[in-house]
Amino acid sequence: MAGSERQRELRRRRKRKAQFDKWKKRLEKASKNEKLLIATKLRRTSPGAEAMIKQLGIGG
């Protein structure tokens, strides 16, 4: 069995945080086009993506 719902929720949250950290690191060297792609991925992944995109300074 996969564990309780809480454990699955925590696992999803940790994976999402790891993805965000990976994308933040890529943003440092990213071109304008890559930044737009990362912003799109953020929007698909998180409901609060617009605030994060503003905070990171990604235009798009």
Mean of the pLDDT values across residues 31-40?
Answer: 93
| Confidence (pLDDT) at 60 | 60
Q: State the amino acid at position 30 in one-letter form.
A: A
The alpha carbon dihedral of 48, 44, 17, 31 has a sign of negative
Mean of the pLDDT values across residues 17-40?
Answer: 92
**pTM of the entire structure?**
0.74
Q: State the amino acid at position 53 in one-letter form.
A: I
Top-confidence residue, 46 or 25: 25
Mean of the pLDDT values across residues 9-38?
Answer: 93
What residue segments make up the domains of the chain, in order of their start?
A: 5-56
